[in-house]
């Protein structure tokens, strides 16, 4: 699903044209994920002013949604770091181990090389 929260109010996707400014947009839908990489949950006409966009999708490296906001000089990041954090946290829970931030950096670097190069 796609929803926007403005204050305490949840705004349905059908009302998106009425929204002008938010602090953060998070796309948790598969819209724009490989192989449908030319799709976006927000068409140009519905783009909202924001400080940051997080697209949970990690393949492709940069979705159409991210590109459109980067063109407006808005910080936009994909979901690869979240995916890695989840995997590391799972390992910590299952194996009763603790990994430092260097592990995250190394895993992120290696996965990025494999996925995006």
> How confident is the model over 89-112, as pLDDT tens digits?
999 999 999 999 999 999 999 999
From its phi and psi, is residue 73 left (phi > 0), alpha (psi between -120 and 50) or beta?
A: left
Phi then psi dihedrals of residue 15, to 5 deg: -95, 5
Local confidence band at 40 (pLDDT 50, 70, 90 cut-offs): very high
C-alpha 104/C-alpha 32 separation (Å) is 25
Report angle CA 83, 40, 82 to the nearest 5 degrees.
10
**Two tokens at 19?**
């929204």
- What average pLDDT does the structure give for the chain? 90
pLDDT tens figures, 59-73: 999 999 999 999 999
What pLDDT score was predicted for residue 21? 85
C-alpha 66/C-alpha 53 separation (Å) is 7
- Domains of the chain, first to last: 1-78 (3.40.50.720), 79-117 (no CATH)
C-alpha 77/C-alpha 58 separation (Å) is 9
């Amino acid at each position: 699903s796609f929803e926007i929260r403005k204050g305490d109010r949840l705004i349905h996707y059908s009302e998106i044209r009425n929204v002008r400014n938010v602090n953060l947009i998070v796309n948790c839908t598969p819209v724009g994920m490989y192989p449908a990489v030319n799709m976006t949950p927000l068409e140009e006409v519905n783009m909202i002013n924001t400080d940051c966009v997080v697209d949970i999708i990690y393949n492709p490296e940069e979705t159409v949604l991210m590109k459109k906001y980067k063109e407006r000089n808005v910080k936009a990041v994909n979901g690869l770091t979240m995916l890695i954090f989840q995997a590391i946290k799972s390992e910590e829970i299952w194996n009763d181990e603790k990994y430092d931030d260097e592990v995250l950096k190394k895993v992120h670097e290696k996965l990025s090389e494999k996925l995006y190069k």
